[in-house]
Structure 1
Amino acid sequence: MLRDIVFLHVPKTGGSAVRTALVRGCGDRRVLYDYGAEEKQTTPALRDALYRDGFTGDGVGLRRHFGDRRGLLLIGHFHADKYWDAFHPDSFVTFLRDPIDRLISEYNHYVERYGAELELEAFIETTRFSRHVSDLFRGVDPAEFGFVGFTDTFEDDLRALSEKVGHPLSALRENEGTYAPGLREKAEDPVFRKQVRRFVSVDHAVYRRLRNRYDKLRARRLAGLAEAEGYRGRVRLAPGGRLVGYAVHRAVEAILELEVHAGGRLVTRVQADRFRPWLKSSGRSRSGVAGFDVPLRRLLLAAGRPFLPATASVRIAGTDIELPGSPVRLR
């Protein structure tokens, strides 16, 4: 289950439906919208902070102003690199669509909503729209995102996203445009689509790479976690009877799951998914997301153990690797 979720809403990909599903299903987090300084959808406090509270506009600034123990759900039209440095890659979610269909849909949106009189051909030749997707991902490889879904497999991918975020998600397709007959014919004409493809070649390369290879790329990267010597971290007993620390893997950036054992048995599993500024500033974690905080006594009581054992050990889940500092003396 993801603590933080960053939904990069690519226009005309079914993103409005995904946004609604995430807010309904994951709204127990603090919800923030960033659709730009001038857009009404942008969270007012976020807009104010951008210009009046000294907020730098980057992910670290957002963390300092809007950090929440429940986690964050950040949604909007923004460049991925704006928040990449302060969120874990696994937190990033997006949906993509065939660039030709996306571009035609965006044209239709401009005609219907704004009364644009620009011809489709002239609209397509405008660089801003033909490379819109690749521009949103500039400086970031979307293959590292925690989840990439696709419009043409929307229902299946929404179910997969439900498993990823740890909440059931359901959505009605929203904001769908109705094409005029002539535009529909062009959208389905193979010859016209071939002509358009050369204008969206950069976006198309990004789309095809992820459409064909996303699962394989993710699996190959995560396979690196098998290198046991790559794990780093520490655990200690903090005031209030809390086990706190961090856990990372040097070769693979992944949110690690930990097991807490006490009194001869597994007490709980916890993810090292808390943001800690010192982890980022010290270079231990690129994003600063690798911390954990376990209120041990409450967990022991929930597990039916009213008395505190002498020690507790913290291990990388599924391994015998204990974090430095473990076992921790509890009394």
Structure 2
Amino acid sequence: MVVNPLLFIHVPKTAGTSFRFGASTYFGDGSICLDYGPGSKHTSDIVKAWMGDNPDLWVFFQKMKYKNVKMLAGHSNSVRYLPIFGLENTVTILRDPIQRLVSEYKHYSRHNGYKDSFKSFYRKSSFTNRQLKIFRRFSWPLFGFVGLTERYDESLQLLNNKYGIEIPYLTMNLGREDLKGKYDIPQDQLDETCIRNAREIDLYDKAVSQFEWRVSLFKNGMKFVAGLLSGQAKEHILGCAIPEQSDDAVVLRVKVDGAYKGEVLANEYRADLRANGAGRGGFVGFSIDISGFAKGAILECEVAETGQPLVNSPWVIRGED
């Protein structure tokens, strides 16, 4: 059961409008607050009043709860709300980068009067790696839920189960009837768009892998862990792991070049994660001593109980900068 409002980060052309209308149907009229920018006709009055030139996040949050708002939805600017909603209550939907790009081009052609070719569209920097840009400064693997457009029905079922809600399956604002269908792209354009959006494709592939693990763990009655390897600092690899259905610190198993090297407990304090509402008061971090391993060695980090790998695992150990 949802206690605090949900934050939905709406990536354009990912079935986000369908999700938003479904949420409004379930929670009721007036239950969804919108922030699509100060110039948008869709942005709610409460957002304009408290999140304008002199924003006050705390007062806005109190006003929103007073009005019994159940969800705030918006495009990339909505990440600024993370400190008050918290990572656990933040959800988003991702889509195959190239398919999303084609869909956005068709949307701009239909509704924004865009007249140039698809090639001209995808070569603009503003439309390159769009999903990556939205989450560049934020750890999307730590969000409460990350769904997939191509598996929207399944994503909705998992999200509803996690939060104890019943948002219905609706299809709104779609450029095509089948969410699972794919646009055909000439091979030369496909090759070029894949090169230009390589980093976003990597992000999406990682999201798909984690989604598969979420599905598998759910079917087997096991707990999903939101976690990642976040960086290498001198002789340590840093990371974090947040348990989804428990307040216990996550136990992680470490392997190097395929050989078991021990376990580590994710209970170190991370001030940045606490500031964004991570569970366990921010005591979800860990560090792995790699002083005894050679440059180029491959380190793997997985949840000891289930074998679920963290995002960015395996990690290739680099030498000192």
Fold similarity call, TM over 0.5: yes
Aligned to 1:106: 104
Residues 215-266 of structure 1: per-residue CA shift (max 9 Å, x gap): 47836624594349xxxxxxxxxxxxxxxxxxxx96589xxxxxxxxxxxxx
Unaligned runs of 5+ in 2: 215-223, 228-240, 251-265, 281-321
Aligned to 2:195: 198
- Which of residues 286, 289, 295 is equivalent to 2:275? 286
Q: How does 1:117-156 map to 2 (within 5 A)?
A: 117-156=115-154
The offset of 1:165, in angstroms, is 2.4
- Which stretch has the larger CA shift, 73-82 or 91-100? 73-82
Task: Give the 3 Å change call, closer, same or farther, for CA 250–67 of structure 1 in structure 2.
Answer: farther
Name the SS for the 1:118 alignment partner. Answer: coil
Task: Give the 3 Å change call, closer, same or farther, for CA 23–115 of structure 1 in structure 2.
Answer: same
Residues 104-158 of structure 1: per-residue CA shift (max 9 Å, x gap): 1100011111221111111101111112211211211110011111011111111
Q: How does 1:203-214 map to 2 (within 5 A)?
A: 203-214=200-211
Q: How many residues align?
A: 236
Q: Cα RMSD (Å) of the superposition?
A: 3.4
| TM-score of the superposed pair, with normalisation by structure 2 | 0.64
The offset of 1:31, in angstroms, is 2.5
Letter of the structure 2 residue corresponding to residue 152 of structure 1: E
| Mapped contact 1:80–1:136 kept (Cα < 8 A) | no
| Mapped contact 2:141–2:207 kept (Cα < 8 A) | yes
| Mapped contact 1:80–1:138 kept (Cα < 8 A) | no
The offset of 1:208, in angstroms, is 1.1
Larger Rg belongs to: 1
Q: How does 1:229-240 map to 2 (within 5 A)?
A: none
Distance in 2 separating the partners of 1:50 and 1:84: 14
Unaligned runs of 5+ in 1: 229-248, 254-279, 292-331
Task: Give the 3 Å change call, closer, same or farther, for CA 123–169 of structure 1 in structure 2.
Answer: same
Q: Report whether the alignment pairs 1:12 with 2:13.
A: yes
Aligned to 2:2: 2
| Mapped contact 2:142–2:242 kept (Cα < 8 A) | no
Aligned to 1:46: 47
Aligned to 2:289: none
Aligned to 1:276: none
Distance in 1 separating the partners of 2:154 and 2:80: 29
Name the SS for the 1:51 alignment partner. Answer: coil
Distance in 2 separating the partners of 1:155 and 1:9: 17
Aligned to 1:89: 87
| TM-score of the superposed pair, with normalisation by structure 1 | 0.62
The offset of 1:205, in angstroms, is 1.8
- Which stretch has the larger CA shift, 155-164 or 62-71? 62-71
| Mapped contact 1:55–1:65 kept (Cα < 8 A) | no
Identity %: 24
Distance in 2 separating the partners of 1:96 and 1:35: 18
- Which stretch has the larger CA shift, 88-97 or 19-28? 19-28
Task: Give the 3 Å change call, closer, same or farther, for CA 72–55 of structure 1 in structure 2.
Answer: farther
Name the SS for the 2:50 alignment partner. Answer: helix
